A and B are shown apart, each in its own frame.
Chain A
Amino acid sequence: MSGDARLFDLGYRAYDGPRERPAYAVASLAVFTVRRVLGLGRGARHKVLPAITLAIAYLPALGSVAFAVIVNDIAAGDLIGYGDYMFIIGSALALFAALIAPEALCPDRRSGMLGLYLSGPLDRTRYLVAKGSAVLAVMLLITLGPLIFMLLAFELAGFGPGAAELPNLLLRIFATGVATALLYAALAMAVSSLTTRRAAAAVGVILLIFVPANVVRAAIESTGAPDELDLLSSPFVAAELAYRIFGETPDDVEPVTRLSTWLVAGGVAAAVAAGALVCWLRYRRLEAFR
């Protein structure tokens, strides 16, 4: 036997190596959750719905860019506007929010994983920060991704705003994408914090987004209720804020000129705060132990 022989596989033993900081646990849970909600590393059936929703969100951008490239002599003003785009994919946003937030939150409470997480370094606030970050990151895939794709593709195809305007437009895209993602993420997480059943949460998210929107619009149009009621409609405030950030005017909808941009932005901020508060209050007293 050689005198240089070494035994490398020592099996289970004490660990005296470094340990990470708490932020590592938050980041680890966030990444784990992103993978889970997108179906990465899971069976094909878990990937179907996220893939369909992503397709709905990106196809108009792909089509628009393809059309511009094929036609070639299209005027820059005839290209689809970024505000218009956020309005067009509004349903995909709602559907995506209804898919991902319940998938991020509900199974942990249903399976008892929440207790395992909270018995370690994560406290309830850090847990929610991790889950919220994951939901937000996935929402950004469709609130930022298509707009950035369109901007870069148009620029490369010669239909872009030019180098001088590019930073400004990127900033607007970033502001719109983050605000919209925050709005839908907060609402969806609030609903998802109320039930352990993913399907029920998904239906609840859809109802929360669309029922007030339709009720409010009907009230304004039929009874002459004040325009301020529109602030209760999340699709309205999301689209209206996007239009105003990009300085666009909707083609077929009368602009709600009575509402200032700050009031619309306040409506978005209030909805985000309300959603986050509901979620935090719910988890503050939630029974995590089974």
Chain B
Amino acid sequence: MISARGVVKRYGRTTALAGIDVEIGSGVTGLLGSNGAGKTTFISLVLGLRSRDAGELTVLGQDPATAGIAVRARIGYAPEHHDLPAELTATELVRHLAEQHLLPRRAAVQRTNDALWLVGLGEERFRAVSTMSTGQRQRVKLAAAIAHDPKLVLLDEPTDGLDPMQRVEMLSLIRRIGTEFGMQILISSHHLEEVERICDSVVIVEGGEVVHAGTLAGLRSGPEGLVVEVDERMGELVSLLAGRGLEVTADEGRILVGAGSPDAHDAVRDAVAELGVGLRRLEPRGRTLEDVYLGEES
């Protein structure tokens, strides 16, 4: 879908991208990084709206800087900003952009309707964009990005400005679009939990470089077993579990239980109950996205 090799982008003396190397495949991919990390610059290069200073970049098999019409027509894009032509209705805007992506008028009308219903704006489709809330505008942008049935959809901070409930709904919608309609989605965000919730893969960018890229499943994989934290008597719990044949080590206030026993959960539960201590944490070992992100940041 997207392949970058040593992509460099500079603004004067400032280096925004310092040699990006990444392969972004199918599914929903999160482009994660703090503000100023280079996410938006990377998206602008993928869209062909800016030229790179060095390196190779292909999108859907072609260089976006010189990509043919056929490729550019198969990309959908929802920008971060909410400034849309105020006087247009949602229908007018989405249909216009669908036509700009070469859909015949009749198809543009039909698919605009379908896309707006899909994003939950069916009843509101004839309202002027200027009268819509931020959440509704985000949905209009999403509908405009998918109305022409693109192969690749780029969503720049699609939950920006949404309240928690709207955010959950928007994330579910994006996940649904990515899984049900065969579109590859690249979602730019600086919210870890959003990426962790809906993405198949993640690319972490910091300081203009890719510091981690891979599937979330691969990222989470690590040493198997359990992590246990209790209120007190940690030493006694370690001894008790070891006495029951589990591979146990104490590590910085937590107990790491090896994967040797298939009944480890039950054994921990029984031991904690037997000791009468409070169980603060019991979860599978392995890294979270936060572990990786903070590790890379530090």
In the assembled complex, the CB of B72 is this many whole angstroms from the nearest CB of chain A, namely: 5
Q: How far is the CA of A13 from the CA of B180 in the complex (A)?
A: 9
Q: How far is the CA of A273 from the CA of B115 in the complex (A)?
A: 43
Task: Let me know if A290 is at the binding interface, CB within 8 A.
Answer: yes
Q: What 0/1 readout, one digit per residue, does chain A (1-28) give for beta carbons within 8 Å of chain B?
A: 0000000000111110111111011001
Note all chain B residues with C-beta closer than 8 A to A107: 85
Task: Let me know if B75 is at the binding interface, CB within 8 A.
Answer: yes
Q: Which residue of A lies closest to B149 (CB)?
A: A15
Task: Let me know if B99 is at the binding interface, CB within 8 A.
Answer: yes
Q: Which residue of A lies closest to B183 (CB)?
A: A14
Contact in complex: B103, A116 (CB < 8 Å)? no
Instruction: Give the contacts of B127-150 with A (CB-CB under 8 A).
Output: 144, 146, 148-149
Of the listed stretches A119-127, A151-159, A178-186, A234-242, chain B binds A119-127
Contact in complex: A289, B50 (CB < 8 Å)? yes
Q: How far is the CA of A146 from the CA of B44 in the complex (A)?
A: 46
Most interface-central of B40, B69, B118, B144 (chain A CB within 10 A): B69
Contact in complex: B181, A112 (CB < 8 Å)? no
Q: How far is the CA of A13 from the CA of B87 in the complex (A)?
A: 29
Total cross-chain contacts (CB, 8 A)? 103
Contact in complex: B103, A15 (CB < 8 Å)? yes
Contact in complex: B73, A116 (CB < 8 Å)? no
Q: How far is the CA of A288 from the CA of B111 in the complex (A)?
A: 27
In the assembled complex, the CB of A107 is this many whole angstroms from the nearest CB of chain B, namely: 7
Contact in complex: B114, A28 (CB < 8 Å)? no
Task: Let me know if B100 is at the binding interface, CB within 8 A.
Answer: yes
Q: What 0/1 readout, one digit per residue, does chain A (78-118) give for beta carbons within 8 Å of chain B?
A: 00000000000000000000000000000100111101111
Contact in complex: B99, A112 (CB < 8 Å)? no
Q: What 0/1 readout, one digit per residue, does chain B (98-118) give for beta carbons within 8 Å of chain A?
A: 011111100100010011011
Note all chain B residues with C-beta closer than 8 A to A119: 47-49, 72, 75, 77
Q: How far is the CA of A110 from the CA of B47 in the complex (A)?
A: 19
Contact in complex: A120, B103 (CB < 8 Å)? no
Contact in complex: B100, A120 (CB < 8 Å)? yes
Note all chain B residues with C-beta closer than 8 A to A25: 99-102
Q: What 0/1 readout, one digit per residue, does chain B (33-46) give for beta carbons within 8 Å of chain A?
A: 00000001000100
Task: Let me know if A42 is at the binding interface, CB within 8 A.
Answer: yes
Note all chain A residues with C-beta closer than 8 A to B182: 14
Q: How far is the CA of A46 from the CA of B84 in the complex (A)?
A: 18
In the assembled complex, the CB of A270 is this many whole angstroms from the nearest CB of chain B, namely: 32
In the assembled complex, the CB of B254 is this many whole angstroms from the nearest CB of chain A, namely: 46
Contact in complex: B100, A17 (CB < 8 Å)? no
Contacts A12-B115, A17-B107, A112-B81; is A121 near B49 (CB within 8 Å)? no
Q: Which residue of A lies closest to B47 (CB)?
A: A119
Contact in complex: B79, A290 (CB < 8 Å)? yes
Note all chain A residues with C-beta closer than 8 A to B107: 15, 17-18
Task: Let me know if B97 is at the binding interface, CB within 8 A.
Answer: yes
Q: Which residue of A lies closest to B96 (CB)?
A: A32
Q: How far is the CA of A232 from the CA of B291 in the complex (A)?
A: 68
Q: How far is the CA of A117 from the CA of B75 in the complex (A)?
A: 12
Note all chain B residues with C-beta closer than 8 A to A116: 77, 79, 97, 100, 144
Task: Let me know if A43 is at the binding interface, CB within 8 A.
Answer: yes
Contact in complex: B47, A12 (CB < 8 Å)? no
Contact in complex: B100, A122 (CB < 8 Å)? yes
Contact in complex: B84, A120 (CB < 8 Å)? no
Q: What 0/1 readout, one digit per residue, does chain A (258-290) give for beta carbons within 8 Å of chain B?
A: 000000000000000000000000000000111
Task: Let me know if A213 is at the binding interface, CB within 8 A.
Answer: no
In the assembled complex, the CB of B285 is this many whole angstroms from the nearest CB of chain A, namely: 41
Contact in complex: A24, B87 (CB < 8 Å)? no
Contact in complex: B85, A111 (CB < 8 Å)? yes
Contact in complex: B103, A20 (CB < 8 Å)? yes
Task: Let me know if B283 is at the binding interface, CB within 8 A.
Answer: no
Q: Which residue of A lies closest to B43 (CB)?
A: A289
Task: Let me know if B83 is at the binding interface, CB within 8 A.
Answer: yes
Q: Which residue of A lies closest to B72 (CB)?
A: A121
Q: Which residue of B lies closest to A17 (CB)?
A: B107
Contact in complex: B75, A120 (CB < 8 Å)? yes
Contact in complex: A12, B73 (CB < 8 Å)? no
Q: How far is the CA of A210 from the CA of B83 in the complex (A)?
A: 34
Residue in B49, B69, B73, B87 whose beta carbon sits within 8 Å of that of A118 in the complex? B49
Contact in complex: B49, A12 (CB < 8 Å)? no
Beyond contacts A41-B92, A115-B79: 5 other A-B pairs, Cβ-Cβ < 8 A, are A24-B102, A25-B100, A120-B75, A121-B101, A290-B83
User: Mind listing 30 A-B residue pairs with CB under 8 Å?
Assistant: A12-B111, A13-B114, A15-B103, A17-B104, A19-B102, A19-B104, A20-B102, A21-B102, A24-B99, A24-B102, A25-B99, A28-B99, A29-B100, A32-B96, A42-B87, A43-B87, A46-B87, A112-B81, A112-B84, A115-B47, A116-B77, A116-B79, A116-B100, A119-B47, A119-B77, A120-B72, A120-B73, A121-B100, A122-B100, A289-B40
Q: List chain B positions with a Cβ less than 8 A from chain A.
A: 40, 44, 47-50, 69, 72-73, 75, 77, 79-81, 83-85, 87, 92, 96-97, 99-104, 107, 111, 114-115, 117-118, 144, 146, 148-149, 181-182
Q: List chain A positions with a Cβ less than 8 A from chain B.
A: 11-15, 17-22, 24-25, 28-29, 32, 41-43, 46, 107, 110-113, 115-122, 288-290
